[in-house]
Structure 1
């Protein structure tokens, strides 16, 4: 939050108003699997932004070729992985292990353990696979507190990680083959399809989708934020959605 205060003091007020459960993953009532934004969709859109302008047949073939390329690349990555987990989650587990070296464990019973780090402490339940730091159950990966407990209890931390993070799961995800379509002359098209005449859709042609994403206020520099004008109260530095006037703010 201190880093956000350096960008704009109003960000803290906005985040506290919408509620911690809306943006803090540790307090979210649902498991969001480390994702809080639509960045994955934005990344895909940035890759296919030129492809979307192509004619429909060319566009579909370009998308198919792109998926074929990604499938082959990810299959090779999975097959070349020498660890039990994929590279990303193996690195996370390694960082958790390094952090766990300085932790001390105080058993409570067979499944409950208290983990201390100076004046901080966490309670780990290896039966329910939970930790009061919440990372164990949210990440579905052994957190630092869980790792030191599992080592003391002679359990393998890998056994307490989600199977979706394993090398075998990644190989299975890309095991299907993306076959080329081939030249149009080799296509076997049923006669009833050949006889169909495609017509353009009737009605008014709608405006195409927005290609450029609008920046949020915290992504702009000071000069750009000064130029934002609210359509409700006519004040600057915010828009209708973030207007502080309760009688004018949009639902």
Structure 2
């Protein structure tokens, strides 16, 4: 991937007394490194001397609408269908007939037949 032999290949090349110049990319040779510095690099002038086009200087940059909260995002779990639908059945007491409790926790008077 890097156009260089792996460490195992280097050991084999050294043990066979082969030159390693033919086995890696020209980007890693000293001539290529020297060529990168052939072109002079000039520093930027002072900020007061910059020439900025009017279309860019008039452009307004607004901040983001929302800020991403810190931490790992929470999982978005899908709820089962039974949890989304309203409960059809509720507890009804066999003693008084009211809903919401059962016979063991009933405090109402027994219903009359």
TM-score by length of 1: 0.22
TM-score by length of 2: 0.41
Relative contact order (alpha carbons < 8 A, sep ≥ 6): 1 or 2 greater?
A: 1
Structure holding more strand per residue: 1
Structure holding more helix per residue: 1
